[in-house]
């Protein structure tokens, strides 16, 4: 529950303004309805919101449009174009990138072999200086383990939109990429220090960071494990943490990078505390999707950052 910054109304599902960072009810969610300070820096060269009555917004903008990179693309990137769905929607953009990267991995393996595939997509203890793999390894997944990408996709699909809604698309994108990259780097550096060089790829570090944020914002958020068993998200998160700690302590766990799991989770918990302290936001009391109402199932399964 959060209060509207304008009228003080209690809101179960508050709106977080991406321009000024305030919290508002449905009546005051639009920037012009809460005197948004971010409007002072608003730049609308294409006159998207020009109604013909506001002389302050130019509807021509020919010079700006000509210099815009997006206007040079052969695809309509405006609000009504085919890419409009991805505007302000980092969760599903990253989900699409994961599957496109998975397809690209197979193409590279079939055409050029494993050496190029490793150089492009895999973060390893022996090629940490390949800085592009810090990011590509987050979106790449084990080609021989289809459930690897499926598991991470499930977590991102169900939990990602909740976190993005409360922290905004820009901060969500930063959280996803930074937590995923740091989780992978931490795993390979720890393995190298232990004398067991390894390679990692997968989005589980970022997925655990997302779960960590939700755990802090609302630890009682009900999640239907495997679509059947209702459990609070704090219990699910704690289970992953204990599972990873156990296998790290005994030196087992198979091809799963448990160190990356823990690093991503710690980043998510820390960022969740920051968001809760500075924005006074909470997630819903249960995870709902589709038309099923309160009894609908929640996000099952779990992430798995591959190590081989």
pLDDT in tens, 245-298: 877 776 655 567 778 889 999 999 999 999 888 865 555 555 544 333 333 333
Q: Percentage of the chain surpassing pLDDT 70?
A: 70
CATH no. of 1-37? 4.10.1110.10
- The arithmetic mean of pLDDT across residues 164-187, rounded, is 92
More confident residue, 28 or 171: 171
pLDDT tens, residue by residue, 49-68 = 443 433 333 334 443 443 44
Instruction: Show me where the domains of the chain are located.
Output: 1-37, 86-279
- Give how far Cα 24 sits from Cα of 20, 41, 161, 280, Å: 11, 20, 18, 12
Handedness of CA 306, 92, 173, 4 (dihedral sign): negative
| Cβ-Cβ contacts under 8 Å for 241 (sequence gap 6 or more) | 261, 262, 265
Tell me, what's the pLDDT at 39? 60
Average pLDDT, the chain: 76
Determine the pLDDT at residue 254. 58
Q: What is the mean pLDDT of residues 205-209?
A: 92
Instruction: Determine the pLDDT at residue 221.
Output: 81
Contact assessment for residue 206 and residue 183, using Cβ atoms and an 8 Å cutoff: yes
Cα separation, 148 vs 212, whole angstroms: 20
Stated as kind and residue range, the H or E segment containing 216 is helix 204-217
Residue with tokens 């730049």: 43
Cα torsion through 244, 205, 157, 79, rounded to 10: 170
Structure-model confidence comparison of residues 306 and 92, the more confident one:
92
What is the pLDDT, as a whole number, of residue 244?
Answer: 78
Selected residue with higher pLDDT from 158 and 293: 158
**For position 220, what pLDDT does the model report?**
84
3-state secondary structure of 11: strand
The confidence score (pLDDT) of residue 166 equals: 83
State the average pLDDT over residues 14-34: 78
Name the residue among 286, 264, 267 with its Cα closest to residue 275: 267
Report whether CATH 1.20.1560.10 matches the domain 86-279. Answer: no
Residue 255 DSSP code: S
In degrees to the nearest 10, what's the CA dihedral of 91, 96, 98, 103? 180
Q: What pLDDT does residue 213 have?
A: 92
Q: Do domains 1-37 and 86-279 have the same CATH topology?
A: no
Average confidence (pLDDT) over 157-164: 90
% the chain with pLDDT above 90: 29
pLDDT at residue 95 tops 50: yes
CB of 201 closer than 8 Å to CB of 122: yes
> Using CA atoms, how far apart are residues 236 and 172, in angstroms rounded to an integer?
21
In this model, does residue 182 exceed pLDDT 50? yes
Q: Please provide residue 224's backbone torsions phi and psi, each rounded to the nearest 5 degrees.
A: -90, 100
Tracing tokens 């959280």 back to the chain, one arrives at 175
Instruction: Please give the Cα distance from 266 to 212 (Å, whole number).
Output: 7
Q: Beta strand pairing status for 199-201 and 306-307? A: antiparallel
Instruction: State yes or no: pLDDT of 72 exceeds 80.
Output: no
- Output the pLDDT for position 286: 52
Per the CB < 8 A criterion, the answer to whether 139 and 105 are in contact is no
Phi, psi of 161 (to 5 degrees): -60, -35
Paired with 307 in beta bridges are 200
188, pLDDT greater than 70: yes
Q: What is the mean pLDDT of residues 194-221?
A: 88
Is the predicted pLDDT of residue 107 greater than 80, yes or no? Answer: yes
Which DSSP string corresponds to 238-252? HHHHHHHHHHHHHT-
Q: Is the pTM of this model over 0.85?
A: no
């Amino acid at each position: 529950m959060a209060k509207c910054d304008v009228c003080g109304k209690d809101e179960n599902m508050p709106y977080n303004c991406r321009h000024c960072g305030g919290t508002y009810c449905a009546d005051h969610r639009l920037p012009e309805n809460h005197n948004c300070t971010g409007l002072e820096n608003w730049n609308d060269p294409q006159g998207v919101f020009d109604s013909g009555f506001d002389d302050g917004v130019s509807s021509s903008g020919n010079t700006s449009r000509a210099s815009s990179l997006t206007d040079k693309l052969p695809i309509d990137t405006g609000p009504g174009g085919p890419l409009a769905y991805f505007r302000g929607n980092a969760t599903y953009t990253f989900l699409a990138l994961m599957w496109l990267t998975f397809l690209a991995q197979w193409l590279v393996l079939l055409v050029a072999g494993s050496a190029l595939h490793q150089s492009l997509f895999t973060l390893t203890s022996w090629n940490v200086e390949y800085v592009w793999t810090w990011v590509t390894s987050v979106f790449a997944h084990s080609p021989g383990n289809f459930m690897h990408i499926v598991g991470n996709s499930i977590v991102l699909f169900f939990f990602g939109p909740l976190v993005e809604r409360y922290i905004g698309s820009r901060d969500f994108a930063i959280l996803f990429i930074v937590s995923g990259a740091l989780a992978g780097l931490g795993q390979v550096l720890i393995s190298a220090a232990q004398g067991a060089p390894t390679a990692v790829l997968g989005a589980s570090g970022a997925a655990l960071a997302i779960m960590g944020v939700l755990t802090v914002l609302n630890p009682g958020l009900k999640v239907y494990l495997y679509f059947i068993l209702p459990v609070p998200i704090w219990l699910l998160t704690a289970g992953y943490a204990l599972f990873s700690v156990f296998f790290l302590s005994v030196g087992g766990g198979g091809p799963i990078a448990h160190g990356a799991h823990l690093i991503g989770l710690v980043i998510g918990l820390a960022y969740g505390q920051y968001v809760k302290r500075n924005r006074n936001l909470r997630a819903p009391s249960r995870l709902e999707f589709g038309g099923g109402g309160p009894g609908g199932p929640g996000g099952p399964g779990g992430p798995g950052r591959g190590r081989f």
